[in-house]
Structure 1
Amino acid sequence: MARDQIDMTPLQSRDELVAWLEAGIKPPSEFRIGTEHEKTPFTLEGRQPVPYEGARGIGALLEGMQLLLGWEPIMEQGNIIGLYDVTGGGAISLEPGGQFELSGAPVENVHQTQAELMAHLAQVREIATPLGIGFLGLGMTPSWSREQIPVMPKGRYKIMTNYMPKVGQYGIDMMYRTCTVQTNLDFSSEADMVKKLRVSIALQPVATALFANSPFTEGKPNGYLTFRSEIWRDTDNARSGMLPWVFEDGMGFERWVDYALDVPMYFVKRGETYIDVAGSSFRAFFEGRNNSLPGERPTLSDWANHLSTIFPEVRLKRYLEMRGADGVTWGRLPALPAFWVGLLYDDESLNAAWDLVRHWTAQERQALRDDVPRFGFKARIRDRYLFEIARECLKLSHAGLRRRGRIDQLGRDESRHLEPLERILESGRTPAEEMLDKFNGEWGGSVEPAYQEYAF
Structure 2
Amino acid sequence: MARDVVDSEVVESRDALVGWLEAGCKPAGPFRVGTEHEKIPFYRADHSPVPYGGERGIQALLEGMRAHLGWDGIQDHGNLIGLYDVDGEGAISLEPGGQFELSGAPLDNAHLTADELDRHLAACRKVGEPLGIGFLTLGMSPKWSLAETPVMPKSRYAIMARYMPKVGTRGLDMMFRTSTVQVNLDFMSEQDMVAKMRVGLALQPAITALFANSPFTDGKLNGLVSARSEIWRHTDPARTGMLAFAFEPGMGFERYVDYALDVPLYFVKRGDHYEDVAGASFRDLLAGRLKQAPGERATLADWANHLSSIFPEVRLKRYLEMRGPDVGPPERIVA
1:197 partner SS: helix
Q: Any residues of structure 2 matched to 1:91-170 within 5 Å, and which?
A: 91-170=91-170
- Give the TM-score taking structure 1 as reference length: 0.73
Offset at residue 77 of structure 1 (A): 0.6
Structure showing greater Rg: 1
Offset at residue 239 of structure 1 (A): 0.3
**Using the alignment, how far apart are the partners of 1:177 and 1:99 within structure 2?**
8
**Using the alignment, how far apart are the partners of 2:303 and 2:333 within structure 1?**
30
**Using the alignment, how far apart are the partners of 2:278 and 2:169 within structure 1?**
17
Higher relative contact order (CA 8 A, sep 6+): 2
Moved over 4 A (4+): none
Q: Any residues of structure 2 matched to 1:258-337 within 5 Å, and which?
A: 258-335=258-335
Offset at residue 27 of structure 1 (A): 2.1
**Using the alignment, how far apart are the partners of 2:237 and 2:115 within structure 1?**
37
> Closer, same or farther in 2 for the Cα pair 1:189/1:302, shift >3 Å?
same
Question: Deviation digits for residues 176-218 of structure 1, max 9, x if unmatched?
Answer: 0000000000111101100110111011011101100111110
Q: Any residues of structure 2 matched to 1:68-83 within 5 Å, and which?
A: 68-83=68-83
Question: Deviation digits for residues 300-338 of structure 1, max 9, x if unmatched?
Answer: 000000000000000000000000000111122100xxx
Offset at residue 30 of structure 1 (A): 4.2
Letter in 2 for 1:89: E
Who is 1:243 aligned against? Answer: 243
Letter in 1 for 2:320: L
The structure with the largest helix share of the pair is 1
2:29 partner SS: helix
**Using the alignment, how far apart are the partners of 2:148 and 2:254 within structure 1?**
43
Unaligned runs of 5+ in 1: 336-456
1:116 partner SS: helix
Offset at residue 222 of structure 1 (A): 1.2
Who is 1:211 aligned against? Answer: 211
Offset at residue 281 of structure 1 (A): 1.4
**Using the alignment, how far apart are the partners of 1:94 and 1:83 within structure 2?**
10
1:40 partnered with 2:61: no
**Using the alignment, how far apart are the partners of 1:100 and 1:30 within structure 2?**
30
Letter in 2 for 1:243: L
Q: Which range moved further: 50-59 or 323-332? A: 323-332
Q: Does structure 2 conserve the Cα–Cα contact (< 8 Å) formed by 1:2 and 1:91?
A: no
Who is 1:374 aligned against? Answer: none
**Using the alignment, how far apart are the partners of 2:45 and 2:3 within structure 1?**
32
Offset at residue 224 of structure 1 (A): 1.1
**Using the alignment, how far apart are the partners of 2:115 and 2:170 within structure 1?**
35
Unaligned runs of 5+ in 2: none
Letter in 2 for 1:158: A
Offset at residue 28 of structure 1 (A): 3.1
**Using the alignment, how far apart are the partners of 1:122 and 1:215 within structure 2?**
27
- Give the TM-score taking structure 2 as reference length: 0.99
Offset at residue 11 of structure 1 (A): 0.6
Who is 1:62 aligned against? Answer: 62
Structure 1 vs Structure 2: percent identity of aligned residues?
Answer: 67
**Using the alignment, how far apart are the partners of 2:231 and 2:258 within structure 1?**
26
**Using the alignment, how far apart are the partners of 2:28 and 2:218 within structure 1?**
46
Offset at residue 264 of structure 1 (A): 0.3
Who is 2:225 aligned against? Answer: 225
